[in-house]
Chains A and B, each alone.
Chain A
């Protein structure tokens, strides 16, 4: 039973570029949440997708956008990258549209130079 898988594991970009991160939820889960974790800090909620729609959003600018596909997998897109976007991006899956009992992937480490 595959857990939450994220790709790529590491990514290096330059300021102004755009990036797409991918996530496949745990088998049987239909809800995907994205978090940003800066070094030494707790995860910060970006948004949550359920039934292919954004259901909740944290305090992140419109440069951060996402998508959920019919197979429940999800993408996180970040446009016009800033140095401050350097962080570990975590995907978490759950069941039924709520943010309960999250199962996390190992994350994508994004470095913006």
Chain B
């Protein structure tokens, strides 16, 4: 099965950029995903990248994919307090443990 790893915590100041990193082992999936989970809620699909791409930009979000190193990252520009949540990297049916992003005013 898939093994997805990501760092558990990230703290940034409001207005800074946040970068959340993820590594995975299985490279057979068509897409790789980032999901967001707010307290008491299910997961929300935030963005995704096709496995043949190396970058995707979606407003404040930038996804970078390094297939050779099996490394995926999510950059959030101009991070806001409303971005505080847990962010999950996913590949196939495998999810990472989630990175808790805390945004300080």
Instruction: Spell out A's residues near B (CB within 8 Å).
Output: 4, 33, 35, 40-45, 48, 56, 58-59, 90, 92, 98-107
Contacts and interface: CB of A to CB of B under 8 A. Distances in A.
Nearest to A4: B42
Given A42-B95, A58-B1, A102 B45 contact: yes
Interface stretch (B11-19, B58-66, B69-77, B86-94): B86-94
29 contacts: A35-B95, A40-B97, A41-B98, A42-B88, A42-B95, A42-B97, A42-B98, A43-B43, A43-B88, A45-B1, A56-B93, A58-B1, A58-B93, A90-B42, A90-B43, A98-B30, A99-B92, A99-B93, A100-B31, A101-B31, A101-B45, A102-B33, A102-B35, A102-B45, A103-B45, A104-B42, A104-B45, A106-B40, A106-B41
Interface residues of B, number: 22
Given A43-B88, A59-B1, A33 B42 contact: no
Interface of B: 1, 4, 30-31, 33, 35, 40-45, 48, 88, 90, 92-98
Main secondary structure of the interface of A (DSSP, over half): loop
Contact of A107 (B42, B92, B94, B97): B42
B34 to A, nearest CB: 12
Contacts of A40: 97
Given A42-B88, A58-B1, A59-B1, A104 B44 contact: yes
Nearest to B92: A99
B70 to A, nearest CB: 17
Contacts of A105: 42
Nearest to B43: A104
Given A90-B42, A104-B45, 8 more contacts: A33-B93, A42-B98, A45-B93, A58-B93, A100-B31, A104-B43, A105-B42, A106-B41
